[in-house]
Amino acid sequence: MNESLQELIETFELLGDWEERYRHLIELGRKLPAMPDTEHSEANKVRGCMSQVWLAGELSETNPPRLQLRGDSDAHIVKGLIALILLLTNNRTPREVLDTDIDDAFTRLGLESHLSMNRRNGFYAMVERIKQMAKDACPA
């Protein structure tokens, strides 16, 4: 299992109630590096989210190439969800991203039953966008 996910699960278990977990999620979002204004574009906008959400990225020139991802939102909890997804996918090879079971992470963190249907749909739209970026970057 991804070390970042294990740490997050342990943190969530220590926090106990969902009000504290939401605060932690919001704090994760606040720690995201700023996304350049030029990337707040229609091309980077994620469809299927009630909030404004942008995701961008490219492959690094390292060997093997890794996805370098950035994201932003105008909603605090959604920005925290972006941070959570990036903990699991950023700086990984496209194949590693495609092999990451983000749905399982979502369930293990207990988010499935504590987010509104609209936020869940938005979360999965973000995941699909990143998976598509990984597919597009995978060698044929």
What one-character DSSP code corresponds to residue 52?
A: -
Q: What is the pTM of this model?
A: 0.90
Close Cβ partners of 29 (under 8 Å, ≥ 6 residues apart): 73, 76, 77, 78, 79, 80, 81, 82, 83
Q: What is the pLDDT of residues 106-129, one digit of tens each?
A: 888 888 788 888 888 889 999 999
- Look at residue 16 in the predicted model and tell me its pLDDT: 77
Number of domains into which the chain is organized: 1
What one-character DSSP code corresponds to residue 59?
A: E
Q: Which residues are catalytic?
A: 49
Largest CA distance in the chain: 45
Q: Which of 21, 24, 50 is nearest to 117 (CA)?
A: 50
Q: Which of 57, 60, 53 is nearest to 124 (CA)?
A: 53
Task: Give the Cα separation of 76 and 69 in Å (integer).
Answer: 19
Query: What range does the domain containing 122 cover?
Result: 3-136
CATH number of the structural domain spanning residue 53 = 3.90.1010.10
- Look at residue 139 in the predicted model and tell me its pLDDT: 67
Contact 43, 133 (CB under 8 A): no
